[in-house]
Amino acid sequence: MTQDIRWGILGTGGIAHAQTTDLLGNGFTVTAVGSRSQESADAFAAEFGIPTAHGSYEALVADPDVDVVYVSTPHPFHAEAALLALNAGKHVLVEKPFTLNAAEAREVVDTAARNHLVVLEAMWNRFLPHTLRIREIIAAGTLGDVRTLIADHNQNLPKDPKHRINDPALGGGALLDLGVYPVSFAFDLFGTPSSVQAIAAKTATGVDRQTAIVFGYGDGQQAVLHTALDTLGPNTAAIIGTAGRIEIDSVWYTPTGFTVYDSEGAVVERFEHEVKNRGMQFQAWEAERLIAAGLTAGDILPPEESVRVMETLDEIRRQIGLSYPGE
């Protein structure tokens, strides 16, 4: 962490509260918050002891005391907010899903590259300690030839049709809010799939209530993924190879533990690691690392991969017949 990098928070919703709690709880510097209303910005600033509250996003990105902006708006507004910050010369950490679709993602990534700025998707599980250890185990060959990922992200969320998770105008549905986690995990393990198959059932509002996805890869690997917004699942994941497997505890995409087994089922390793706060500080550390080093892309989640994830999400939506207003 670099002490002189200053954060601005764009948006004041629940995820902004979670990220700001983890920033301040881990020694980061938060200098400003911006909202569409001065009242909301003032309340957020007072809650967290943030020095400056702006009543517009434009004012936030123009603030000379802000170096990097955390974008926490609803999905359809990620690209607009990210572009606003990038064009004002600010680095950006943008909430997942990166954007609403791949066309928006490409515009954001190209703008960041043109301005020599960091744009990082806030896919926070990519940067957690247990995920880093899993990569080490796979790289060491402990699992042999890694063949399969099985992962679910199923939650029992509000049924109110006006809630953002059920609202097409806000990019609602299980896929972009929940399914993006296992989809991104599959990219982390295997890269871009060579084949995509998806089926879904929809809510009365027209967004996907549940979606099942199978990815295939050139060397025969498979990812079997499931997501739902109205049924609570185990939220576990398994990585299976020819020499062993990893079973990740619930909830697999949050700070948690896992167990490594050999091909006979014997325990090889048990991993547990206590994480302070929610764990969203790790993605912020990565953003600061890139900024301090003068880099615009890291190995864990480069911007181009965020574009490829959005392309795959677009293909899943095409197969299940899910589109959003204005697309």
Domain coordinates of the chain in residue numbers? 6-122+280-296, 129-274+310-320
- How does pLDDT run across 31-87, given as a tens digit for each residue? 999 999 999 999 999 999 999 999 999 999 999 999 999 999 999 999 999 999 999
> For residue 326, what pLDDT is reported?
84
> For residue 118, what pLDDT is reported?
98
- How does pLDDT run across 315-327, given as a tens digit for each residue? 999 999 999 998 8
- How does pLDDT run across 212-256, given as a tens digit for each residue? 999 999 999 999 999 999 999 999 999 999 999 999 999 999 999
Helix (H, G, I), strand (E, B) or coil at 162: coil
Structure tokens given for 6: 């200053």
Q: What is the mean pLDDT of the chain?
A: 97
What is the sign, positive or negative, of the torsion defined by CA atoms of 171, 117, 121, 187?
A: positive
Tell me how crowded residue 87 is: count the other CB atoms within 10 A of its CB. Answer: 13
Residue 1 clears pLDDT 50, i.e. is over it: no
Sequence letter at residue 213: I
- CA distances to 145, 196, 243 from 218, in Å: 14, 12, 20
248 close to 237: Cβ distance less than 8 angstroms: yes
> For residue 142, what pLDDT is reported?
98
Fold of the domain spanning 129-274+310-320: Dihydrodipicolinate Reductase; domain 2 (3.30.360)
Alpha-carbon distance 327 to 320, whole Å?
Answer: 16
Residue of 90, 96, 162, 202 marked active site: 96
| 222-228 vs 195-202, strand pairing mode | unpaired
Of the candidates 236, 16, 284, 17, the one whose C-alpha atom is nearest the C-alpha of residue 124 is 284
Alpha-carbon distance 8 to 21, whole Å?
Answer: 13
Identify the bridge partners of residue 68 per DSSP, sorted by sequence position: 7, 91
- The crossing angle, in degrees rounded to 10, of helices 303-320 and 180-190 is 130
* Residue found under tokens 């967004």: 207
* 129-274+310-320 shares the fold of 6-122+280-296: no
Alpha-carbon distance 286 to 1, whole Å?
Answer: 8
pTM: 0.95
* Residue found under tokens 């980061």: 28
Known catalytic residue at 159? no
Written out in words, the top-level CATH class of the domain with range 6-122+280-296 is alpha beta
